[in-house]
Structure 1
Amino acid sequence: MSSEQHPAMILHQLTTEFLAAEDKKQLYFRLLNRSISLCGYKRAVLFKVDGKRAKFQAVSGKSGVDSYSEMVEKWEKLASSVTEKDSPQQLSVSSFPAKEAAHWQFLSDHTNGLSVYWLPIKPWGKTRYVLWFERWEQDEWAERDLQLLSLVGVSAKSAFERLEPETLCRRISGKLFSWRRFLVSIVVLLAVLLSWRVPLRVVAPCEIIPEDPFIVTAPLSGVVSEVFVESGDQVKVGSQLFGYDPRVVNEELKIAQHQVNMLETTMTNTGFEALKRAKAKAELSILRFRLEQEKIRLQMAEYRASMLNVRADVPGSIIVDNPDEWRGRPVEVGQKVLMVVDPQNINLRIWLPEADNVNFSNSTEVKVLLNAFPDDSLNAHLKYVAQSVSVSPEGVPSVMAEGTFADLADRADEKLRIGLKGSAVLYGDKVSVAYWLLRKPWASARRIMGI
């Protein structure tokens, strides 16, 4: 076997060993300890390159090294200060800035004259690893030695590509990501979050309600016998709405009429006797007073009887709960039974959660998203915001607000039906994006932690 073939056979064997490595730790060991069979050196160190920083990975002849040791620290500082990391080169004291030259001198003194060959490894075309080969005692590198070690770099490149297959994410991150870009992006993002101002956005449940509804209340205390209308019915003035059970009222009316008739007959008889007896005149005065009282009771009974059937005082559309549930229900005077509304006059009721009661003005625009029509939105203006907190229909402490629709004339009547619910989007004062994002988490943290 000739001397020309021997390095080739060794290189072939090394390449086979590198490619057969099961993981990177095994590859590190073979790179650092088996490459000496191709070209002699005293020590080999492997670094991983991340931007300008070179991080120590392994050293020949040792299975493990304290990554915080003084020697590792000097190696990392020297490797990180190499300006042309992508180029194979021989390093000397002149290859480093004056600040790092002291570290080189330290290593040179401990090796009686240090000579280093810098060999980058470029899997997928980017320098990700570097082999640092050392010769001591002023033993210089020959051109043939550098050529043989360069072939080691080619074999190592293929081995790393097998263990670190290139994926789409790796390709993108390899082109776009670096610590400098990451830090610059963070600074730019923070500057944007602190300087860019956007309107404070609040989303609250809402409902379409009638404007100035006519509330029909119970005129008498009694039992409702039947409700003659249903929600959505159109009524005119005088239309019958609901009626009372008439039995008690009619009985009271009969008793009052009987009392009046009986007192009138008694007064007539007493009037004849008053012509004969003086005592009858005194009785007549008492009977007259009692008759006046009974006539007043009769008038009240007649009024109650006239109110047994409640009729509409204004035209409009009916809003009432389930009419069947009113049948047989006792009511008190003034109790709400139903409403008569104008479907064309509507308002927007908004329940602002207590935590979202920020500053709003009467000119605040409101974007309304109805649950029944998720593909469309309506525009409204805030009319007022209450000053007190109440409980919303969902049981959430909220502040009630009302708004008016801005484009009723452009909308179909059937789209804005009373009772439709949805979400109202309100925009308050302009705040920074950071405040816009962190307002609720910050408030929750303060509430939980008491800070």
Structure 2
Amino acid sequence: MSTEQAQPNPLLILIQLGKEARSASTLDELGFMLVNDSRVLSGYRQALLWSADQGVTHLSGVVIPERHSPFIQWAGKLCDHLSGKTDLSFKTLSVLDLPEVLQQGWGQWMPKQVWWIPLEFGGQPSGLLVADDALDEQWLPLWREWTGVWSLAADRLSRAESSSVMGAVKRWFRYQRQGSAWRNSRLWWVVVGVVLALLFPVRMTVVGQGELVPREPVVVRAPLDGVIHEFHVSPNQVVKAGDALFSYDNEVIRSRLQVAQQSLATAQAEYRQTAQSALSDARAKFQIASLVGKVQEKQAELKFLTEQVGRTTVTAPQAGMVLFDEVSEWIGKPVQTGERVVRMADPANVELEVWVNLADAVPLKSGDEAKLFLAASPLDVIEAKVRWVGYEAQPRPDGTFAYRVRASLSEQSAFMVGAKGTARVSSSRVPLAYWLLRKPLAVIRGYLLM
């Protein structure tokens, strides 16, 4: 058998390489095959695969290139220089084709000749560097065909990895193994951007139920025990000082007043009769003192009942708006002395009251910003400054406990007392990560401590 007949057919080798490239399952496997298995086409001393976003990813005879070695650093600069020259395409290069900066390392790490073969996959500039002392350009057509098949296979795997979660994870680990190239990748900048965003300071805010309430209301309490007979005002009515607010049912008091008047008249008549008898009867003189005391007692009782009758109609202590519930809920209702019936407030002197839930009780201090978003007018925002914060939680009508927060309005509001909505109170600045994870961490900590 002759030598020509013993030599394998290059086309069969090319077909076999293409088959293995299409069978590769990962980009790492495909890159390893390119720099190592390509020797069957034509022999070479060394080959390396480079891409603009990752640097030198594969080196012949090495499983994982050492990213910080001097040779890999110099080779990366060489490939970056060659990728920027538009006139290089499947060309044999020597040291004379390089600038002075790159010529210094050629004699130490490179043989006499190299091939620079540009590749197209993944959307990034990349290429294959093949080095040997004697490269025969007659094999370049085979290399051109082989690298074209390899690029198609690499592009297919690159697209598959970019569209899958596992592929993204694999790329992340691959970039991590590649050291400095990973720092130059897009993923690095995305991670840095996310970390910086999570460290960005934002205001800690809490949301609660808000309502416009009078700042310094005057409480009108029941002056005596009795039953309310009539209201002379309606809810939210503006009155002047001295206007009648409500009246008691005074029939019982007037009856007691009439009885007291009759008792006083009887005591006075008895006193006069005894005083006349004392002129002739010595025993009558001793009764005068007790009768005088009885008359004074009846006079005091009459004076007290007269004052009680005058207090059955309650008047406004000052001008302002009358705040109370529905009139029908008070008519006929018995009240005790000191019980609150109505409140009076200046319509122009209002403030914001916010109820903060126990889970949202972040540190708040005087001067913090507060905003009320009214339910009846979503486009209007009422701004205020925190005046004080309750030191202990108080029960709400719905059975929950919350902290009371009062805030002074920044400017006079056109909305009336009782307007409700959602209030937002802003505290000190914290990192965005803490703002996002505060509640989840609190829930997790609660489960871990159970």
Report what 2:153 is aligned to.
159
Q: Unpaired segments of 5 or more residues in structure 1?
A: 171-176, 409-414
Which of the residues 130, 134, 143 maps onto 2:137? 143
* Alignment-mate amino acid for residue 152 of structure 2: S
Identity of aligned residues (%): 24
**TM-score scaled by length of structure 1:** 0.65
Change over 3 Å in CA distance of 1:17–1:202 after alignment to 2: closer
* Alignment-mate amino acid for residue 347 of structure 1: V
Q: Describe the SS at the equivalent of 2:301.
A: helix
Q: Unpaired segments of 5 or more residues in structure 2?
A: 168-180, 446-450
Q: How does 1:4-403 map to 2 (within 5 A)?
A: 7-8=10-11, 10-12=13-15, 14-24=17-27, 27-28=30-31, 30-32=33-35, 34-41=37-44, 47=49, 49=51, 51=53, 53-56=55-58, 65=63, 67=64, 76-82=72-78, 83-84=80-81, 86=83, 117-128=115-126, 130-131=127-128, 133=130, 135=132, 139-165=133-159, 179-180=183-184, 206-210=210-214, 213-224=217-228, 227=231, 229-233=233-237, 240-246=244-250, 249-250=253-254, 252-253=256-257, 255-312=259-316, 317-326=321-330, 331-341=335-345, 343=347, 345-349=348-352, 351=354, 355-357=363-365, 359=367, 369-378=373-382, 385-386=387-388, 389=391, 395-397=401-403, 400-403=406-409
* Alignment-mate amino acid for residue 223 of structure 2: P
Change over 3 Å in CA distance of 1:50–1:267 after alignment to 2: farther
Report what 2:420 is aligned to.
421
**TM-score scaled by length of structure 2:** 0.65
CA contact (8 A) 1:320 1:337 kept: yes
Separation (CA, whole Å) in 1 of partners of 2:104 and 2:255: 114
CA contact (8 A) 1:215 1:338 kept: yes
Separation (CA, whole Å) in 2 of partners of 1:359 and 1:210: 19
Separation (CA, whole Å) in 1 of partners of 2:339 and 2:349: 24
Change over 3 Å in CA distance of 1:192–1:73 after alignment to 2: closer
CA contact (8 A) 2:366 2:388 kept: no
Separation (CA, whole Å) in 2 of partners of 1:265 and 1:99: 139
Deviation at 1:388, TM superposition (A): 7.4
Change over 3 Å in CA distance of 1:93–1:290 after alignment to 2: farther
Separation (CA, whole Å) in 2 of partners of 1:287 and 1:274: 12
Separation (CA, whole Å) in 1 of partners of 2:32 and 2:204: 59
Q: Describe the SS at the equivalent of 1:374.
A: coil
Separation (CA, whole Å) in 2 of partners of 1:225 and 1:339: 18
Change over 3 Å in CA distance of 1:203–1:323 after alignment to 2: same
Deviation at 1:288, TM superposition (A): 1.1
Cα deviation, 1:23-73, whole Å, max 9, x if unaligned, reads 43553465355533433346655x4635473234x756x9xx4x48x7995
Deviation at 1:249, TM superposition (A): 3.6
Separation (CA, whole Å) in 2 of partners of 1:162 and 1:440: 42
Deviation at 1:286, TM superposition (A): 2.0
CA contact (8 A) 1:217 1:333 kept: yes
CA contact (8 A) 2:353 2:404 kept: no
Deviation at 1:123, TM superposition (A): 0.9
Report what 2:173 is aligned to.
none
Cα deviation, 1:53-105, whole Å, max 9, x if unaligned, reads 3234x756x9xx4x48x799576445434342526676888978699679x55
Change over 3 Å in CA distance of 1:252–1:438 after alignment to 2: farther
Change over 3 Å in CA distance of 1:403–1:261 after alignment to 2: same
CA contact (8 A) 1:241 1:312 kept: yes
Deviation at 1:357, TM superposition (A): 1.7
Change over 3 Å in CA distance of 1:72–1:133 after alignment to 2: farther
Separation (CA, whole Å) in 1 of partners of 2:189 and 2:23: 41
Change over 3 Å in CA distance of 1:127–1:440 after alignment to 2: closer
Separation (CA, whole Å) in 1 of partners of 2:277 and 2:304: 32
Separation (CA, whole Å) in 2 of partners of 1:340 and 1:358: 26
Deviation at 1:337, TM superposition (A): 1.3
